[in-house]
Structure 1
């Protein structure tokens, strides 16, 4: 999996981007260093600081890692990790099961690709990197013959959680999953105890999912490690809007 793609992040000398899958332990460490900078350093999560300056967990060795590099510097500027059904069976669960009861989705397990740890360098957030990553996800799903994309998306609670409540309320009626695909958080985020923000600021990842046809599968979970409210999203490929299907190569 490899592609070159022009990016509009800068008006002059726009970087060329290379999409690939990590093939060595060194490349996985590059991914983990980028995640550390974005998820731990930038968010000031003192509890997760470590001397290796790596964001990693037990799932990394079982996952494949999509990488976007700037062709001029070869630095990793974006990443997404993906877990296919065979590797999910090997580890015994999906990552999302740390936060949600996915019992109602048991019949789909052999058809689900789980995506997570989406991460883009702050200087490359103009849109090209995430589009390239999603194109990589679509290609990966075709190769694995899976027709559901699942993942958790995080919402900051830096404002006390009011925006997370507003986002949930703004999306649940239009984008709610059918009842048979609902999941239950192990540690529910207290959405009924908080007043919603006056205007919902939907995170880019959540916006990308729902615009592409994903379902919101229930109430958010509270993630104390990353200090976030997390929602579980499920995207059936048959729901994928034709405009986005063309972008992702489906």
Structure 2
């Protein structure tokens, strides 16, 4: 059996590309556990994506995984997972290379912040290596009720909506129009407490979101389309990410 391709190794953890059916099955099992789906979480997008596994080096435990789908430009967005839920017509005009980050999850029993840092460092290396100019994805809130997340949605409305030229339109049958229908002011502390860590990281780097959330009952989540133009990431943040990636 060939040695796995190690993408990044730091401290207790290493990140590598999935190599074969067993690795993919392990990632799907972790996703199922994290997203609380009834069966292993697999879909038609798995075969066309690259899958990254983050493992604890000493024991080999799988603690985090995600997948990446590379797109030559916005014209290929019809191939993306997000295109099932959002009207991405505006973004199809984006001329640069894109990558869709999907099914990102960290095992809930592993709370070490170094896991998220290593995952982002790995992602940075992959994105830099492929010349990606925009990273996209769906950032998920657990459950299908908006009630626990009103402050988070208010904060997204106030500070982080997509530029008009890239704003995703509605496509899903069930949505939460937080930009239009939730006018309350955000309690920033409460908002950040309930916001998914992945989304917080996107926003800290200059990311933006759709003006509505999709109610995904199959995955038991609410999710917002998230975009990040790599050229807009602050230089200080780029240096930190590349220091990890290096």
Q: TM-score, normalised by structure 1?
A: 0.83
1:183 is displaced (CA, Å) by 0.4
Following the alignment from structure 1 to structure 2, what is the Cα–Cα distance between the partners of residues 91 and 30? 27
| 3-state SS of paired residue (1:2) | strand
1:173 is displaced (CA, Å) by 2.3
Runs of 4+ in 1 over 3 A off after TM superposition: 86-92, 190-199
1:164 is displaced (CA, Å) by 2.8
Match for 1:21 among 9, 14, 17? 17
Note closer, same or farther for the CA distance 1:87–1:122 as it changes in structure 2 (3 Å cut): farther
Note closer, same or farther for the CA distance 1:107–1:171 as it changes in structure 2 (3 Å cut): same
Following the alignment from structure 2 to structure 1, what is the Cα–Cα distance between the partners of residues 27 and 92? 30
Following the alignment from structure 1 to structure 2, what is the Cα–Cα distance between the partners of residues 176 and 90? 23
Match for 2:140 among 144, 147, 154? 154
Matched, 1:245 2:234: no
1:162 is displaced (CA, Å) by 1.6
Following the alignment from structure 1 to structure 2, what is the Cα–Cα distance between the partners of residues 194 and 216? 15
1:241 is displaced (CA, Å) by 2.4
Matched, 1:210 2:199: no
Q: Deviations over 1:195-225 (max 9, x none)?
A: 9797322221111110111012321111121
Following the alignment from structure 1 to structure 2, what is the Cα–Cα distance between the partners of residues 205 and 91? 22
| 3-state SS of paired residue (1:72) | coil
Following the alignment from structure 2 to structure 1, what is the Cα–Cα distance between the partners of residues 98 and 239? 21
Say how many residue pairs are matched: 230
1:74 is displaced (CA, Å) by 1.1
1:21 is displaced (CA, Å) by 1.1
Q: Structure 2: 5+ residue runs without aligned partners?
A: 1-5
Note closer, same or farther for the CA distance 1:58–1:86 as it changes in structure 2 (3 Å cut): farther
1:62 is displaced (CA, Å) by 0.5
Q: How does 1:79-158 map to 2 (within 5 A)?
A: 79-85=65-71, 92-108=78-94, 111-157=97-143
Q: Structure 1: 5+ residue runs without aligned partners?
A: 7-15, 41-47
Q: Deviations over 1:78-105 (max 9, x none)?
A: 1111000169989952100111111101
| 3-state SS of paired residue (2:240) | helix
Please say if residues 157 and 164 of structure 1, whose CA atoms lie closer than 8 Å, have aligned partners that are also in contact: no
Note closer, same or farther for the CA distance 1:236–1:88 as it changes in structure 2 (3 Å cut): closer
Aligned-residue CA RMSD (Å): 2.6
